[in-house]
Structure 1
Amino acid sequence: MYLTISPQKTGSSYLQSVSDFVKYLEKENDNYGLEADEAYFFNQDNDGITSLQVITDIDANTKKLHKHEPKFYSITINPSQRELSALKNHTKDLKAYTRELMKAYAASFHREIEGRAITVKDLKYFAKIEYSRSYKGTDKAVRENQKYIAKIAKLKHHIVKIERNEMAGSVKAKQQAIEQARATAPHKLNGKMIEAGMPKAGAQTHVHIIMSRKDQSNRYSLSPGSKYKASTVELNGKLVKRGFDRDRFYQKAEKQFDKQFNYKRHYVEQYKARKTLLKQPDVYLKQLWQMTPKQRALGFHILREAGIQTKLPSIPVNQAQLAAKIVKQLKKGLTRAMRSGSIEI
């Protein structure tokens, strides 16, 4: 599972209203004809929340925030297909999980409100479940198909010029060349070349959470973008706690999912393991190689399902050889996943 937390921006500027983001999250309502319970937003206590209420409440909860400060944060819960297979009902289970997750989110703040710790009741948030994803230009399949996509675009441009008598050539030959490019592209889905915007196959259910920067009272700022885990500073003659413990939040999120759905998380799926790969690749590989052959094979299978291509040696090799053969592949493939282990600001 990958959790991302980010302030919503347009280029270098923060959005002053949540309306565009809400409209983006509403796109599935029309495209997929969702049922009422699936189409609406929800929060800790209520279901069936309309997009208008989300926009009104978030936009009004920005007291004393300046233009250069984020008004809200986007939290995304991205379960893997393997994790989704542990759920009995995607909508009900992820809604229940989100509500437990937000308790952990609140507890990860090193802040106090009137002398007490932050709780989920202090948070103003709205969440929406989505059921599909589309390929983006940054996805491996699209990147590796890109030269074929570019070739096809060029051929189509030539066809237009030929039809306008601006260029000599055969339209039929160009069309055949287009079909050949599509056929030879390395990544396809249901026989079609994968391009940006194409819906992904399989279960793709995930959750978007809109989290107000200010608490329910509109008096206190709660920023998960704080560069501090936990610190105390003197402000106006008073000692004030500040900070957000990202590591604690991500680890509690995993533990909650595993407990709630009796999920047996493999080592390679753990947030802690991804951090180990980044900082101590030799320790990561040693952990993999000390597993039973069945568990080790499962680990590499999970990585491949996530789009990370690795070649598993058929026999044990020394640590240096492992590093040369595998670490480079793993690090390259997990770069995107690593970014979800920290707040992107």
Structure 2
Amino acid sequence: MIAKIPSSGKGLSQRTGSCAGLVAYLEKEVQGQWFSLDREDVPAAEVTQALDRNKRNLNRDADKYYQVILAPSQAELRHIDSDPEKLKAYTRAAMEEYAANFGKGIEGKDLVYFAKVEHERTTGPQDRAVQVGDVKRGQAKEGEQTHIHVLVSRTENLARYTERKQAGELDRKNPYHLSPLTNHKNTERGVVTGGFERKQYSERVEQAFDQAFSYKRPLVETFRYAHTMQHGTPEQCAALRAQAMQEQQQRQAVQQAAQQLATEQRQQLITPASAERTVQPEQQQSKPEQPRIPEHRRSRGIGM
């Protein structure tokens, strides 16, 4: 599972203004079909309007929205049969983790976000195959490529903030401004408290998938493994490789034991039927033959 919060890319250069450009770009595969925390089939125009209106006390040059990309692996997609309803449920769970990761006691309903499921991806400049010249940039990638784009407002849900403020549930003067690109991480002092730990978010999103769908994730598929291989010391990488090798051997042993058990069970089912088939001819041979009645006695009757 890859959870990315890109700082640049298609439409993201205009984060300080309207999200209309990015919304329009994400209409390229299918029109509409956006969803949110509690809605389905939201049209693009409403997505743009809702996100653009949800802002307060932000400078002209400040970011107004962000994008979250959730990209399950092909193994994860096979595990859930690429079920769109499961993908939507997972997206909502991931956005609950997004809200919690700010450390401000907010939930998914305190956000304004809209998401869309896409099924195609093309090669880009970061792909190794493009860098070495094996494929061209913009070429469709093979295999299952389903992923989710989420557009989320920087400002917390103003309608809910106002409602809670009027009900006396909040005593803070202004709504939260929530940036997942901040460099603050769980800070407790200063102007900015809380923050957003992106590494922690990636791990929580991964765990949310595993818990929701009972996915037994191999170590080599974890964010911890990938992060260590890229940023860890040689000693840390070696230790994790050894752990992954041991885990793989244990998995293979379990699979072999399961296959052996299945083979024995099949043999137990086949053996009684085979025995029955071999006994039947013997039973037929041991059965005494009936005496034949001469033709002339059959026509007249035995007693005559």
Whether 1:284 aligns to 2:284 is no
Q: Provide the C-alpha distance between the structure 2 equivalents of 1:19 and 1:223, rounded to a whole number of angstroms.
A: 20
Name the residue aligned to 1:203: 144
Change over 3 Å in CA distance of 1:137–1:250 after alignment to 2:
closer
**Structure 1 48/296 Cα, relative in aligned 2: closer, same or farther at 3 Å?**
same
Summarize deviations over 1:271-306 as a string: whole Å, max 9, x none: 1222322122322222323455781799xxxxxxxx
Task: Give the match for residue 256 of structure 1.
Answer: 208
CA distance in 1, matches of 2:88, 2:12: 31
**Does the CA-based 8 Å contact 1:110-1:229 persist in structure 2?**
no
Residue 96, structure 1, aligned to residue 97, structure 2: no
Secondary structure at 2:52 match in 1:
helix
Corresponding residue number in structure 1 for 2:2: 2
2:128 to 102, 123, 140: 140
Deviation at 1:135, TM superposition (A): 1.4
Q: Deviations over 1:1-34 (max 9, x none)?
A: 111113457687644110110111110016xxxx
Q: Which amino acid aligns with 1:231?
A: T
Displacement, 1:232?
A: 2.9
Larger radius of gyration: 2
Over 3 Å counting, the alpha-carbon distance change for 1:8 and 1:293 in structure 2 is closer
Asked whether the 8 Å contact 1:127–1:210 carries over to 2, the reply is yes
Distance 1:13 1:133, change over 3 A: closer
1:291 to 1:126, Cα distance in 2 relative to 1, 3 A: closer
Please give the secondary structure, in 1, of the residue aligned with 2:61: coil
Deviation readout 1:204-241 (Å, 9 max, x if unpaired): 00000001000111732111122111123456xxxx73
> What pairs up with 1:236-251 in 2 under 5 angstroms?
241-251=193-203
Partner Cα separation in structure 2 for residue 292 and residue 274 of structure 1: 15
* Aligned mates of 2:249, 2:20 — CA distance in 1: 46
Q: Which residue of 2 aligns with 1:131?
A: 119
Q: CA RMSD in A?
A: 2.5
- The alpha-carbon distance between structure 1 residues 108 and 291, as it changes in their structure 2 partners (threshold 3 A), is closer
Instruction: Note the alpha carbon deviations across 1:233-283, whole angstroms, 9 max, x for none.
Output: 456xxxx73312323322111111111122121212211222322122322
Partner of 2:226: 274
Counterparts of 1:30-49 in structure 2, within 5 Å, are 39-49=32-42
Aligned counterparts of 1:233 and 1:11: Cα–Cα separation in 2: 31
* Count of aligned positions: 234
Tell me, yes or no, if structure 1 residue 118 matches structure 2 residue 97. Answer: no
Q: Which moved more, 1:73-82 or 1:12-21?
A: 12-21
Residue 51 (structure 1) aligned with residue 44 (structure 2): yes
Q: Which amino acid aligns with 1:4?
A: K
Cα distance change of structure 1 residues 267 and 290 upon mapping to structure 2, 3 Å threshold: closer
Q: Which has the higher strand share?
A: 1
Larger relative contact order (C-alpha < 8 A, sep ≥ 6)? 1
Quick check: 52-61 or 134-143, which moved more? 134-143
TM, length-normalised to structure 2: 0.70
Amino acid at match of 1:125: Y
Q: Distance in 2 between matches of 1:284 and 1:66?
A: 44
Question: Which residue in the other structure is 2:258 paired with?
Answer: none
Tell me if the contact between 1:8 and 1:15 (Cα under 8 Å) persists in the aligned partners: no
**Between the two proteins, what is the percent identity of the paired residues?**
33
Indicate the SS of the match to 1:76: strand
Q: Distance in 2 between matches of 1:234 and 1:286?
A: 39
Over 3 Å counting, the alpha-carbon distance change for 1:137 and 1:252 in structure 2 is closer
Change (3 A) 1:12 1:19: closer
Equivalent position SS for 1:241:
coil
2:46 maps to a residue whose letter is Q
- Equivalent position SS for 1:3: strand
Structure 1 residues 297 and 40, CA, compared in 2 at 3 Å: closer, same or farther? same
TM-score normalised by the chain length of structure 1:
0.62
- Unmatched 5+ residue regions in structure 1? 31-38, 112-116, 146-186, 188-193, 299-345
- Unaligned 5+ residue runs, structure 2? 160-174, 252-304
Find the aligned partners of 2:62 and 2:125 in 1 and give their Cα distance.
29
Alpha carbons 1:289, 1:296 under 8 Å: kept? no
The letter of the residue matching 1:6 is P
- SS at structure 1 position matched to 2:57: coil
State the alpha-carbon separation in 1 of the partners of residues 181 and 246 from structure 2. 41
The whole-number CA distance in structure 2 between the counterparts of 1:14 and 1:131 is 25
